[in-house]
A = this chain, B = another copy of it.
Amino acid sequence: MTRLPTFQDVLEAMRRIVPYIHHTPVFTSATLNRMTRANIFFKLENLQKVGAFKARGGCNAVFALTGDQAARGVATHSSGNHAQAVAYAAGLRGIMATIVMPEDAPPVKVAAVRGYGARIVWTGNNPLDREHRLETVLEETGAVFIHPSNNFHVIAGQGTAALELLEEIPHLDVVMAPVGGGGLLSGTALAVAELAPRTRVIGVEPVTVDDAARSFRDGRIYPPTNAYTIADGLRTFLGDVTFPIIRNHVSDIVTVSEQGIIDAMRLVWERMKILIEPSSAVPVAALLEHSTLFRGQRVGIIISGGNVDLEHLPWIS
C-alpha cells in the first residue's frame, strides 16, 4: 500500500526547507474584498523562490534524499515551475538534475531552468509523452524521479505554504488552492485538517480540464482530458498519493471558466499590483464565479506562482 504523508511530514518539511525558501507575505485588497463581499487573505507564493510554491516541494524532495540517492542525481518532467524548483534545489545541494520539458514550455521558464544549471530533455506536449520520455531518462541515468505532484516529500513540502498562512491568519472559514496534479491541494489539506479542522478546503480547476472535479465526485481517478486551458500548470491529473488525501480532507472541488481565469488574473494585476500566473488566478475566479459560497467569509487563497511570459498576455490579442 502507498505510504501517505501526514501533518508530521509537513512539519518535518518546514524544518528541512526553511534555509532555502522565503517566508512569503500575506496580502489583502480592499477592492477585492468589496467586490466579493468576503475577507480574502492572499498567501503570495508568486514571491517565493523560483516564483512559485513549487520551490517548497522541490527543496523538500531533494534535501530528503540520502547521500547515495543524491549521488545518482534527480530527474522530473514539468511544464515549468516544478522544473525550476527541482533545478533550483539540485543546484543548492550540488547534484545533477535532468528535466523533461514540453517543447511549448514558456521561454522564460526554460531560461530559468538552464540558469540553475539543470540539463533539459525535450518532449511533446501530451502528459503521457512526457512520462514515456522520462522513463528513458531514468533508465539512462539512474536518477531519482521527483514527480511534480504525486510524491510523498513534494506533497509534504507544498503543505508548508498553508502552514505559514494558518500560523499568521487565524479563524479562516475556507482555504482555496488550484488543483492540477493535486500536490498543492493535498499538502494544503494536510495542514488545514490538523491546524484548523473546522476550516473548509476547496480545490479549484479550469472547467476545460475538470478531471479532478469528476474524480472527486465519482471516487475514482480520471485520466487527463488533454484539453486546452490557459492555466497551463493545471493540465495534469491526480495520483495514488494525492487522491486519497484529497478525498479524506478536501470539502469540494469547483470549476471556473477560461474567461473567468483571464478576468481574475487581470483584476489582481491591476488592483493588487502583483504578477500572478493564470493557475494562480483560478481560485480568484472561483471567488467571483461562485460568490455565494464565500460571501461574508474569511477566505485564504494560495497564490501559486508568478511566472508569466510577458510577451503574450491573454488580454492583448
Interface residues of A (CB under 8 A from B): 25, 27, 46-47, 51, 108, 266, 269-270, 272-276, 306, 310-311, 313, 315-316
Contact = CB atoms under 8 A, between A and B. Distances in A.
Contact of A273 (B266, B270, B274, B315): B274
A273 B316 contact: no
Nearest to A271: B51
Copies of this chain present: 2
Contact of A275 (B47, B108, B275, B316): B275
Closest A-B pairs by Cβ, 10 of them? A273-B306, A273-B275, A46-B273, A274-B274, A47-B273, A269-B275, A273-B274, A51-B273, A269-B310, A270-B310
A142 B112 CA distance: 58
Q: Which of A25, A51, A275, A315 has the most CB of B within 10 A?
A: A275
21 contacts: A25-B25, A46-B273, A47-B272, A47-B273, A51-B273, A266-B310, A269-B275, A269-B310, A270-B310, A273-B276, A273-B306, A274-B275, A275-B275, A310-B313, A310-B315, A310-B316, A311-B315, A311-B316, A313-B313, A313-B316, A316-B316
